[in-house]
Structure 1
Amino acid sequence: MANRRPAHPIDKTIGAAEWDTLELSGASYRRVLFQDVDMTELVDHGSTFEECTFGNVRFNVSEHTDAQFLNCSFIRCSFFDATFKGCKLTGSVFDSCTYGLLKVEGGDWSYVALPGADLRGSSIDGARLREADLSGARLEGAELRRADLSGAWLRGADLTKCDLRGSDLSTLDPHEVTLKNAIIDPFQATVVAAALGLVVRE
């Protein structure tokens, strides 16, 4: 995940002047560049974006349900109070974005690149994050519950006071992250203890 894939070819560009949509349902876009578009308060049901690039797009307070963002690039986008329910974002890359109060419920975010993302105060529940790049991510006080983190890159992540209950921590190296006051369940405690070389006995 450390290597960035090149941007996809662009077949069409949509700028601020071409976008006044407040609701999408089943729309489909492929290799489209969305530049400086305001998607604030957009309601999106089941739309598909494939190999699209979003540059300086505002997703603030938008709601996406069962939508797909496949192998997309998000550059300097804002996601304040945005909600993604049951969405698929596999292989997408986020670069220099802001995420205040981002909400993710379920869905598949496997192979997503979020290195260094400031996710403080965000809520991620029940999402698949297999082999996602969360290296250096800031998750202080966030919720990262019931998430499949198998193979995820977490080196340098700050999980201070992060609620991790129910998440798969099998590949977490506690020596490479900050776990101060993180909230975990009893099963996770044995996993972390084993990773620290401790022997748990009753």
Structure 2
Amino acid sequence: MVDDAHPLPDKDGEIRHVDFGGQALDGVRYEDVTFVRCDLSEVTTSGAFFSGCTFVDCRFNASTHTSTAFTGCTFRGGNFFDTTFTGCKLVGSTFLRCEYGLVTIAGGDWSFVTLAGADLRKAQITGVRMREADLTGAQMQEAVLQGVDLSGAALARVDLTGADLRGSDVGTLDPLSAHLARAVIDPAQAVVLAEAMGLVVVG
């Protein structure tokens, strides 16, 4: 069910070419709906619920999402420039061929999310749970990843050049596979990475 003020899917479960025009989509619920080339730029959501939805070539530029769930969703060809997620739940969602740029993620649960190969340069990611997320080959140069739970995350070939990793779980980070030049880490992380390289750390 969807609030009458917002578009309903057609008989094929699709919503196509809708300009949401910066609407406040507070508390809306969409399940198993496909959004095709919709413009959600400058939209705000709070307590909204999207489950099993697919977003094809949709724009989320400058949108703000607070305590919203996008669980088990697929985003294909989306644009997330200057998008902010605060306390959101994206467990099991997949991002394919998306553009980001200055995306901000603060808190929330992004476990099992697929962001393989994503260009997340200069992203701000803090206090987020990203357990078993797939960040294989992600471009995260100069990104901030502080206090991020990356337990079990796939981090092969991730580029963290100049990134700030302080307070994040780097237990699955292979320093011989990842790019870590000029990355900022804390002493505890230094020990973990040294041991991952086969070094013996003596106090």
TM-score for both structures, normalised by structure 2: 0.92
Q: Tell me the secondary structure at the aligned position of residue 39 of structure 1.
A: coil
**4+ long deviations beyond 3 Å:** 17-21
> Could you tell me which residue of structure 2 aligns to residue 45 of structure 1?
46
Q: Distance in 1 between matches of 2:19 and 2:79?
A: 19
| Paired residues of 1:11 and 1:31 also in contact (CA < 8 A) | no
Aligned to 1:159: 160
Q: CA deviation at 1:201?
A: 1.6
Contact 2:58 2:79 in 1 (8 A): yes
In structure 2, the residue matched to 1:6 is none
In structure 2, the gaps of 5 or more residues are 1-10
The one-letter code of the counterpart of 2:177 is E
Instruction: Give, in whole Å, the separation in 1 of the partners of 2:125 and 2:99.
Output: 15
- For 2:129 and 2:12, locate their aligned partners in 1 and report how far apart those are by CA, in whole Å: 30
SS in 1 for 2:167: coil
Contact 2:144–2:163 at 8 Å: present in 1 too?
yes
SS in 1 for 2:133: coil
Shift in CA distance, 31/201, structure 1 to aligned 2, threshold 3 Å: same
The reply on whether 1:84 has 2:85 as its aligned counterpart is yes
Q: 1: CA distance between counterparts of 2:94 and 2:106?
A: 19
Deviations 1:40-83 (A, max 9, x none): 11010010000000001110000000000010000000000000
Query: What are the Cα deviations for residues 79-100 of structure 1, in whole angstroms up to 9, with x where unaligned?
Result: 0000000000000000000010
Q: Distance in 1 between matches of 2:41 and 2:18?
A: 15
Deviations along 1:110-164, one digit per CA (max 9) or x if unpaired, are: 0000010000011100101100000000000011110000100010110100100
> 1:21 Cα shift?
5.8
Matched, 1:126 2:127: yes
Cα 1:189–1:32, aligned 2, differ >3 Å: closer, same or farther?
same
Q: Does the alignment pair 1:171 with 2:172?
A: yes
- Give the aligned partner of residue 60 of structure 1: 61
TM (normalized to structure 1)?
0.92
Query: Does structure 2 retain, via aligned residues, the 8 Å contact 1:130–1:149?
Result: yes
> How many percent of aligned residue pairs carry the same amino acid?
50
**Counterpart of 1:14 in 2: which secondary structure?**
strand
Paired with 2:19 and 2:78, the residues of 1 have a C-alpha distance of: 18
Aligned-partner Cα distance in 2 for 1:187–1:99: 31
2:103 maps to which residue? 102
